[in-house]
A and B are shown apart, each in its own frame.
Chain A
Amino acid sequence: MSDLTPLRDLLDHHVVGHDEVKAALLLALITREHIYVEGPPGTAKTRLAEVAAKGSELDFFFYQLHRDTRLAELVGDIVLERRKVKTEATASGTAGEAERIHQRIEPGGLLTAEVAVLDDISRAPGEALNVLLRILNERRFGAEPIPLMAAIATGNPMDDEYYNEPLDPANLDRFALQLRVSGLIQSGVDEAKTLIDRFASGSVVEQPDPEPVTDRTTLDALNRRMYEVEVGAAVRAALLDVLRTLVLEFECNETNSLLTDRTFLVKAIKILRGAALLAGRDAVNLEDLAALSWMTTFRVPPEAHEALPRIIGRVSRQVRAV
């Protein structure tokens, strides 16, 4: 269907289950949006991110965040440039030499990567994350644009059991796509059996190092095609109705939600286009609205997030009826 089928197959080969996360990862690569995946340890979060990055032959930056995370670790080395200048003689001394010292950052890490995996993002204090996430958002550092396509962040659930810093709402908003995963074995789904069988048979390795199955050129072409996908008036009306319902019926506001204009009026259009493209269509239709629930996971109260498929269904019926 789409040019990313090989990448999807690769993800399926290395990771059992987690269909939604896989689809959202592909969507992130096409739309060039960032994605945040939250779940307990050992739910293949990092593995999925790694396989996706390596499988698409992109320059890859992996960083494990920690409590003492410093800017320099993320963006490259701090360099001091020293230049000699002459000084004039003063009353207190003879003419001497002086050095002008300029501090700059030698770009590395996040600034040169195409895909960044930010592991355990919830372990770093919000104060330290702010500037990182700002770089992610603006895709430039200072005045320089950076080649980053997508950042894939992972985090542990926000419970007391994990050493966590709650993500600042403004920081969380930088990740257009947000998903929650749970372990296959813990949730007792059928795929748990497949998972164990695959490891038992040796068909899955613990440290995957896959050969690339797609590349930057393909992703760039897909990104261009994405902007050709049509977003008709009916879809826009339906999207607005869904948002209106969240605000008016579910009382989503600035206190309990992150219903930001940037995400739901600007990025949502891209996500819908990407979803249509992944489904092999050149126009967004009402079914694509389902992708909205990858945007609301941590942005609206849980009951509103859970009700989203119902809201989308109702709104779609109304729009179709008109």
Chain B
Amino acid sequence: MTRPAPDRRIADLAGAFVELRTALGRVLVGQDESATGLTLALLAEQHAYLEGPPGCGKSELAAALAALSGARTHTLVFHRDIRETDLLGDVLLSRHRHRGHERLRRELIPGPLLQAEIALLEDLPRSPGEALGPLLRILAERNALGQPLPLESAVATGPLEQVEAPIDPLEPGQLDRFAVQLRLTGLLTGGLFDEAAVLLEREAARESSRTAVQSTTGSVSAPEEATATPRAAVMSSATRKAAQRAAAALQVEPRTIDAYHRLLDRLRLRSADESASGDRLMSDRSFSSAALRLVRAHAFLRGAPAAAPRDLGAIRYMVAHRLPDEVQEDFDHILEELLGDPPNVTMTETGAQMPGAQSQGDDSDGAAAASPASDSWIDDQADLPAPPTLFGKPPPPAQVDPLLRALVGRIERGRIDPDTDPGGQPRGYRPLRDLDELIDADLIEALLFAEGRLPGAPRTFERKRKSAGGAVAVLRDISASMAGRLTVWSSQVVLGILRVAARRRMRVGYVEFHHRALPHQVGGRLLHRSYSRLAEQAGQAKAVGQTNYEAPLRTALEGLRGGSGRNRHIVLLTDGLPIIGDTTVRRERQLARRLGVALHTVFLGNGDCPPVLDDISLETGGLRFYGRPLTGGGLRLEER
């Protein structure tokens, strides 16, 4: 057999990944963007993080990528009690005699995860940070126990940040290990009813369960996939690896680099405009090597001989956790604007070319249509803005992050360390105290202990839970002047506070007020942990009546009076001066000081903040915020 011409071979390699992308796109209905993002991740040998609401097909998509690509795969489901050996491998315990004494050595033998080409990390954020740290480092370095890993891509899945989920979200620094970040939308909650109808039709046509014992994985998959036969790989390992090498070697046109610099500038400026939020990240790591690998992969998939400016479209698959939501939404627009307005393209048009790609023509954009690897989807995607559902819901008009961060800071300060709790997360080790604890002990040490070969007691997990202490009551002005946008904004503030409280298992109270206080009690109590019930109520508030501070403050303080501990907060949300009741709320301020309750005030109205709000906050050690209107109709909460 003769060796195919280099350009032909390159086209075949690209064609294999186009086929992968097409097959992946068929796995789920209406999640084409994610299929493209995952394909690019594998081609560029980058890690990917998939997040989305439960049951939208995250795991299905990740598993399909692994199966279709023919890569050696290992799946790991993360949970609270995951251990080092699950992550790394078996233990090798060796004994050496040395000058009359015995030496025990404990080593790790690389396990299946460390031998995988694609690692599927399911529910990654559910693992305690202690277990995640080493794993994420291994992923980044692609090296473990002194050995380089065959790993090409790790694909992790995780839930959307949700009010009641008992998990701490991954930190931005941890998320940064995943160059590709994709957010899946549910068809129903995303309002994609046409796609939903297609899925219903598929399911109605399904004629059997997968196997005798497996009825369904519950995932959203096509009927032809719903048989006992697994998905067949669309490419060989050799093809996959050759394509990855070829994509990495692709030239990037100088005008692309120029456009990339300008794109980064714009993204940085827009991000600074929209939000000062520190939990967004444009790290050097991601935006230099990883980004350019993805841009090359995008061009390669398009069948282009070199990465053109339009291939910067690949950056959109990186931004879910790196840019503020508003900027993400606008990404395609920003890029389009940039590409439509190039400084001087004629000089660089024929710049860098891949050797042997002469048949593709000089103009990379024009070559796409003629290339065997081109496919309508990728051209559409480069030319048209992405559908509005790409990154989930429209951006919230109120920016509550600064308030929430300050509030969290205050809450954390008043909080005691996590309590020891047998149901908690493993947070380190301690010696075994009781034989009942053997189940939780380090198994190797337990083994040695049982054989009398361990001098002391085996170590066992020290489990801790974040203290469930603390309480926060939200008092929300619903007087007539709060109608319209203020209602929406204050709902968002309330929801944000509920989310913070839920993550810390703080009890919450919610009091709406106008001339009277309307506490939302559960089981006859103001403070409770029914977060979602309150979240629902907060979404339904109607503005009516006049403003009275005294009644709601009195109600909330009475509710907090029974409790103990320092970590008690009241957040007062209002847009105007109190008219009814004691407008100076003198007695309530006194009571708050006596109880040690911090009264935080948030002023949302136009004009000057009523001085009484400052007094309330200053006297009780609370925070003071006001809503600064943004151009474009949004609102940003800043400290007064």
Contact = CB atoms under 8 A, between A and B. Distances in A.
Q: Indicate whether A and B interact.
A: yes
Interface stretch (A9-17, A120-128, A287-295): A120-128
A236 to B, nearest CB: 5
A140 B443 CA distance: 25
A304 to B, nearest CB: 10
Contact of B443 (A78, A146, A166, A223): A78
Contacts of B220: 261-262, 265-266
B370 interface: no
Interface string A73-87: 000001010000101
Interface in B416-445: 422-425, 439-440, 443-444
Given A223-B209, A261-B196, A96 B523 contact: no
Contacts of A127: 79-80, 126, 166-167, 423-425
A153 to B, nearest CB: 16
Interface residues of A, number: 87
Nearest to A140: B214
Nearest to B187: A261
B165 A169 contact: yes
Contacts of B200: 236, 239-240, 265, 269
A14 to B, nearest CB: 27
B540 to A, nearest CB: 9
Nearest to A33: B215
A306 interface: no
A102 B88 CA distance: 12
B490 to A, nearest CB: 16
A102 B90 contact: yes
B191 A247 contact: yes
Contacts of B344: none
Interface in B118-168: 122-123, 126, 159-160, 162-167
Contacts of A256: 532, 535-536, 539
B539 A260 contact: no
Interface string A200-227: 0000000000000000000010011001
A301 B537 CA distance: 10
A261 B186 contact: yes
A251 B199 contact: no
Contacts of B199: 261, 265-266
Interface in A221-280: 223-224, 227-228, 230-231, 236-237, 239-240, 243-244, 247-248, 251-267, 269-270
Nearest to B105: A98
Given A137-B218, A258-B54, A103 B77 contact: no
- Residue in A159, A160, A254 with the greatest tally of chain B CB atoms within 10 Å: A254
Given A223-B209, A254-B160, A173 B196 contact: no
Interface string B92-131: 1111111000010100010000000000001100100000
B467 interface: no
Contacts of A260: 53-56, 186, 188
Interface string A153-173: 000001111000110111001
Contact residue range for chain B? 35 or more
A301 B536 contact: yes
A237 B194 CA distance: 11
A259 B165 contact: no
B528 A94 contact: no
A68 B57 CA distance: 31
B174 interface: no
Interface string A99-131: 111110000000000000000000011111011
Nearest to B165: A168
A145 B166 contact: no
B85 interface: yes
Interface in B75-92: 77, 79-81, 83, 85, 90-92
Contacts of B216: 266-267, 270
Contacts of B530: 158
B439 A70 contact: yes
Contact of A262 (B55, B525, B539): B55
A304 B570 CA distance: 31
Interface string B178-207: 000000001111010100110111011011
B443 A103 contact: yes
A169 B159 CA distance: 10
A67 B422 contact: yes
Contacts of B197: 236-237, 240
- Residue in A124, A168, A173 with the greatest tally of chain B CB atoms within 10 Å: A168
B584 interface: no
Contacts of A97: 94-95
A99 B212 contact: no
Contacts of A253: 189, 393
Contacts of B91: 100-101
Contact of B165 (A126, A158, A224, A266): A126
A185 interface: no
A154 B252 CA distance: 59
Contacts of B79: 71, 127-128, 130-131, 134
B276 interface: no
Contacts of A247: 188-189, 191
B186 A92 contact: no
Contacts of A269: 200, 203-204, 206
B406 to A, nearest CB: 23
B201 A236 contact: yes
Nearest to B106: A101
Contacts of B90: 100-103
B219 interface: yes
Interface string A1-31: 0000000000000000000000000000001
B217 interface: yes
Contacts of B187: 261, 265
Given A251-B539, A301-B536, A168 B103 contact: no
A71 B98 CA distance: 40
A266 B218 contact: yes
Contact of A170 (B54, B217, B523): B54
Contact of B193 (A134, A146, A244, A270): A244
Given A237-B197, A265-B220, 15 more contacts: A67-B423, A98-B105, A125-B166, A130-B123, A160-B528, A170-B54, A223-B215, A228-B207, A240-B196, A260-B54, A261-B56, A265-B199, A265-B203, A267-B216, A269-B203
7 contacts: A98-B94, A125-B423, A168-B165, A224-B208, A240-B200, A253-B393, A260-B54
